[in-house]
Amino acid sequence: MKIHNCFRFLSLLDMLKPLNIKFEKAVRFLVEHMPLSDENSRKPVLFHDIRVGVYLYENGYTDDVVMAGVLHDTIEWSDVGEKMLRREFGDNVADIVLVCTKNDAIADKEEKTIELIKRCAKNGQDALIVKTADIIDSFKWYSSQDNKDELKYCLRNAKAILKFKPTSYKDKIFDELRKWQNHEYGKI
């Protein structure tokens, strides 16, 4: 029995190897293209992006969802454009990243959040999962920093995600988001 379990574990590792290589490629891509965070940054963006990808990886999401999680901030925070993203990581990953990118032409914070979350929800569960993982990690970071202003941002996003999420989206990540929302709501 132990030998059988060992072979199953090695087989699982073999299946994950391509994802691990893709993940490393995405991290190297981020290091090359993302600006350095400094003391004035809201949060260390590179580390945040890696944590979002690791969360999705550890929770068994598809390769494309994991990759989009790692790369979700590239359009907003780097010199990377849509064309480069598609060339390096494929259309599906690029589509998810683009859907999860804020529209900075919208000045009002509430309106910008609602537009983004509705766009994610409309474009499929994968996009909303990536955005939700982003917000869960932001909840964790800003809670550890006791940053009430940014926690308000997280709460605004969580409220919109849970409001506009189609009822057919049953993924466990939305339950985790609800727990974070309830946990932090009483602190603000």
The residue extents of the domains of the chain are 16-185
Side-chain half-sphere CA neighbours of 26 within 13 A = 33
| Cα(21)–Cα(176) distance, integer angstroms | 28
Q: Which tokens belong to 141?
A: 């970071």
Return the CATH architecture of domain 16-185: Orthogonal Bundle (1.10)
User: Are residues 96 and 126 in contact, defined by beta-carbon separation less than 8 angstroms?
Assistant: yes
Separation between Cα atoms, residue 136 and residue 48, nearest integer Å: 11
pLDDT tens digits in sequence order for the chain, 188 residues long: 444 444 444 444 455 578 889 999 999 999 999 988 877 778 899 999 999 999 999 999 999 999 999 999 999 999 999 999 999 999 999 999 999 999 999 999 999 999 999 999 999 999 999 999 999 999 999 999 999 999 999 999 999 999 999 999 999 999 999 999 998 766 65
